[in-house]
């Protein structure tokens, strides 16, 4: 594992819907206890550069061609909303015109992202960074208003809703532009959860009015900088997936068996958009290593000769996911011929 040589061009092949020269591994993010286990040491310091170095080291050891970071520690929502488990109505800081006008909006330029430059000397040859956002357009609006309040506001004060979306979207664009100034950044994550198991949080028409224009700007901004960008979104996007593809996203991430198993998603959208990961989180937590290994091999065989798929979980690698499940996927990728 330690002899792995990163090659970001292999991930780029996946994103171009091509077949890579060998299986490519992909995760949105993992977790610090896992990084410490893989690195065989504790995180030495919690400053951004030290965390990035430590993360890069772990990703390389596990066989990834990139490592996930945030460009800065900017957050839109109040601290009370940032919990491991929370209600969609928690943390509402904007409930009307007055609270909108008085809201202490963070400005991306006020947050330090210099580590994206400084980390360059620590990146192994062939490796790049993948930058995540501090939540997405819809995700941040929901955290700022509360979900139920947002639903009411859409009918009571749609103009205010539009201004809130604009305030979030415009700052996210600036956040991405700051990240894209650095050569170390090879890939952008547009992470924005859009739905429940059965449908999107907002109607398709409301998504088109408030959410899609900002996502189109994100795609255009990243592509203008010569980088790829993928959409991470949980939820059932069946009614809007054609529009996601039409926006120009290079890939889609996040899949659940109870919504649409990755095998079916691949057959439906392969050739139109790359698909990243997809092995269901519940499956990974409740099945043994052999089952995980075999399902990964079967998915790799499905993509043989067609490409456009990277090995990974359906969402991320939180602390509750048994590392053995992740490593079973890795063994399958390493063994596949």
Domain ranges in the chain are 71-253
- What is the predicted pLDDT for the residue at 316? 96
| Contact call for residues 146 and 89 (beta carbons, < 8 A) | yes
Cα–Cα distances in angstroms (integers) from residue 201 to residues 154, 165, 174, 280, 282, in the given order: 12, 15, 25, 21, 22
CATH of the structural domain 71-253, one choice from 3.40.920.10, 2.20.25.90, 3.60.10.10, 3.20.20.210:
3.20.20.210
Buried b (16+ CB within 10 A) or exposed e, 8-34: bebbbbbbebeebeebbbbbbbbeeeb
**Residue 152 phi, psi (nearest 5):** -65, -45
Find how far residue 303's CA is from the centre of its chain. Answer: 22
Burial of 185 (0-12, 13-18, 19+ CB in 10 A): buried
- What is the predicted pLDDT for the residue at 80? 47
**Residue 253 phi, psi (nearest 5):** -130, 150
- What is the predicted pLDDT for the residue at 77? 83
Over its length of 337 residues, how does the chain's per-residue pLDDT go in tens digits? 457 999 999 999 999 999 999 999 999 999 999 999 999 999 999 999 999 999 999 999 999 999 999 999 999 986 644 445 556 666 678 999 999 999 999 999 999 999 999 999 999 999 999 999 999 999 999 999 999 999 999 999 999 999 999 999 999 999 999 999 999 999 999 999 999 999 999 999 999 999 999 999 999 999 999 999 999 999 999 999 999 999 999 999 999 999 999 999 999 999 999 999 999 999 999 999 999 999 999 999 999 999 999 999 999 999 999 999 999 999 999 999 8
- What is the predicted pLDDT for the residue at 3? 79
Residue with tokens 């997405």: 136
**CA dist., res. 198 & res. 115, Å (int):** 40
- What is the predicted pLDDT for the residue at 315? 97
**Residue 132 phi, psi (nearest 5):** -95, 155
- What is the predicted pLDDT for the residue at 2? 59
Cβ neighbour number for residue 117 with a 10 Å cutoff: 13
- Max intra-chain CA distance, the chain: 61
**CA dist., res. 74 & res. 69, Å (int):** 13
């Amino acid at each position: 594992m330690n002899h792995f040589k990163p090659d970001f061009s292999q991930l780029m092949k996946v994103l171009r819907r091509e077949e890579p020269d060998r299986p490519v591994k992909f995760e949105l993010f993992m977790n610090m206890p896992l990084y410490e286990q893989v690195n065989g040491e504790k995180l030495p310091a919690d400053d951004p550069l030290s965390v990035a170095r430590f993360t890069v080291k772990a990703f390389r050891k596990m066989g990834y061609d990139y490592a996930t970071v945030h460009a800065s520690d900017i957050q839109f929502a109040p601290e009370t909303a940032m919990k491991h488990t929370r209600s969609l109505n928690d943390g509402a800081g904007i409930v009307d015109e007055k609270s909108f006008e008085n809201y202490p909006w963070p400005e991306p330029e006020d947050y330090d992202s210099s580590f994206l430059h400084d980390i360059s000397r620590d990146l192994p040859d062939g490796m790049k960074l993948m930058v995540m956002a501090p939540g997405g357009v819809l995700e941040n609006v929901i955290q700022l208003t509360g979900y139920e309040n947002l639903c009411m506001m859409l009918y009571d004060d749609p103009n205010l809703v539009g201004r809130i979306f604009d305030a979030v979207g415009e700052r996210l664009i600036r956040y991405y532009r700051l990240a894209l100034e650095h050569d170390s950044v090879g890939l952008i994550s547009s992470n924005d959860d859009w739905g429940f198991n059965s449908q999107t949080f907002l109607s398709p028409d409301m998504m088109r009015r408030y959410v899609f224009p900002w996502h189109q700007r994100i795609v255009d901004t990243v592509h203008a900088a010569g980088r790829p960008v993928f959409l991470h979104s949980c939820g059932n996007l069946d009614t809007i997936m054609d529009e996601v593809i039409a926006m120009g996203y290079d890939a889609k991430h996040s899949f659940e068996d109870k919504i649409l198993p990755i095998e079916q998603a691949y057959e439906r959208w392969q050739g139109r958009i790359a698909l990243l990961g997809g092995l269901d989180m519940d499956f990974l937590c409740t099945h043994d290593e052999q089952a995980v290994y075999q399902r990964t091999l079967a998915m790799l065989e499905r993509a043989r000769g067609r490409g456009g798929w990277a090995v990974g979980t359906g969402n991320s690698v939180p602390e509750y996911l048994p590392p053995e499940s992740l490593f079973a996927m890795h063994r399958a990728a390493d063994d596949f011929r």
